[in-house]
Amino acid sequence: MILADMGADVIKIERPGTGDLARNGPFHQD
């Protein structure tokens, strides 16, 4: 996202129906 902070247009492409696999966990517990 550094390029977006500098004004670039950033387009994220995800699979239809599933989205980004990084958002599906498992997540770190504190």
DSSP characters over 9-20: ------BTTTB-
Dump pLDDT digits (tens) for 1-30.
689 899 999 898 888 887 777 777 777 777
End-to-end C-alpha distance for the chain, whole angstroms: 25
- Read off the pTM: 0.34
